[in-house]
Chain A
């Protein structure tokens, strides 16, 4: 099955700086890559996703890039704010599939 690796496991940035989280995947058949944000005591919430026919997608301060050849995708958060502090998960699946494979999570701390 698919194997998703995520780095780093923890990340601390100063408020206003950028944060980058990287994931790699193993199955070239995967073509859908969502990112989730999980706040303490809550379930994960989708923040952005990308499909394999697109190389980059942006939504305000959040962007995701995808390199299909290298099988890696990244989450970029610009102008970080304290409310961005949370655990972020990447995932991979096939658009027509039934299973999602998650990375191990990145705990992001934004220092005011």
Chain B
């Protein structure tokens, strides 16, 4: 199993550009989530999904969209990038929500918005 994969590893955007961060898992996990990691602030939940067709907002959802058309994929879309969205983004998955099962994190996407 590849586990949780994320692409790209690194991206530079100009303010106002849009892009999609890809996340895929091959463990047949129902629960997937996106976090951003900023210095001194830990990881903050952006959006999550408890299964295909179901998504919900986390702690910091503004400026981001998600969709879950398949169990495997959970892309994160930046509609109009802003410098405040410069961060490291992590996707995670688990077979159940909450504390029922271990969360597995991807390697991250480092995003720089100029």
Contacts and interface: CB of A to CB of B under 8 A. Distances in A.
Interface of A: 1, 4, 6, 9, 31-32, 34, 36, 41-46, 49, 51, 89, 91, 93-105
Contact of B59 (A1, A6, A44): A1
Main secondary structure of the interface of A (DSSP, over half): loop
B86 to A, nearest CB: 17
Contact of A93 (B43, B90, B98, B108): B98
A98 B99 contact: no
Interface in B18-65: 31, 33, 35, 40-45, 48, 50, 56, 58-59
A99 B45 contact: yes
B105 interface: yes
Contacts of B107: 41-43
Interface in B77-113: 90, 92, 97-100, 102-103, 105-108
A104 B98 contact: no
Given A32-B99, A95-B100, A6 B42 contact: yes
Contacts of A49: 99, 102
Contacts of B58: 99
A36 B31 CA distance: 18
A46 B102 contact: yes
Contact of B43 (A42, A96, A102): A102
Contacts of A6: 42
Contacts of B105: 36, 43-45
A105 B44 CA distance: 12
